[in-house]
Amino acid sequence: MDPSALRGAAIAFDLDGTLVDTAPDLLRALDAVMDLEGLPRPPADALRGMVGHGARVLIERAAAREGVTFAPDRLDRATSMFIEIYRADIASASAPFPGVEAALDRLAAAGARLAVCTNKRTDLSIELLQALGLADRFAAIVGADSVPARKPHPDHFRAAVTAVGGAIDRAFMVGDSAADVQSAQAAGAPCVVVRFGYSGGDPDALGADALIDHYDDLDAALLKLAAARR
């Protein structure tokens, strides 16, 4: 398949669990907050099923595992603490998933327009990607605070596509969760799901248009989806 078929296509990537394995640093910050709140730390394997809707929801879910519901002001304080702790060493143990950088290079060489569409805060997303040397590979980084409604709302995906000058009929989402699939498909675009992400369940059950096990397989998946839309 000719990679030039992706020229001008807008490809929006989720961040946590899709581009970057951020679980170790998210868990570090979450553990610190749980310690400060006097609650047990969640097991590391539980974290991957709680990530995807921002720090506030992550803390809510961790507390709920212990049967605790935070009052709004307590949740505000806990979220602020989490952000402060996380930001202080944002990429100490985080790393791009295998093959990410090479895949981004191939897509850029093919003329695709690359964006990040994440429920992480925009400032934290930029800081993380800068720390990992990935920020300059994206024409736009659209976090949850940049839009009125975050994923799974389709307008978040639409905003990322618009930000890179793309069109929905030539746009694709690459993610790891139901929110990614729902956001893209509700906007009228297909979604590729990575099986190694943070879905917290069976990635094959998310309803994705394609699934991949490694970034070496992304180009072929996107080209097949592009051909199907013609």
Q: Is 10 in contact with 161 (CB distance < 8 Å)?
A: yes
Q: Is 138 in contact with 125 (CB distance < 8 Å)?
A: no
CA dihedral of 56, 59, 64, 69, whole degrees rounded to 10: -60
Active site residue 14: yes
Q: What angle do CA 124, 126, 128 make, to 5 degrees?
A: 65
Nearest of 94, 100, 154 to residue 128 by alpha carbon: 94
**Terminal alpha carbon distance of the chain:** 14
In this structure, what are the phi and psi dihedrals at residue 86, rounded to the nearest 5 degrees? -65, -50
Q: Tell me which of 14, 16, 25, 176 is the catalytic residue.
A: 14
What residues act catalytically? 14
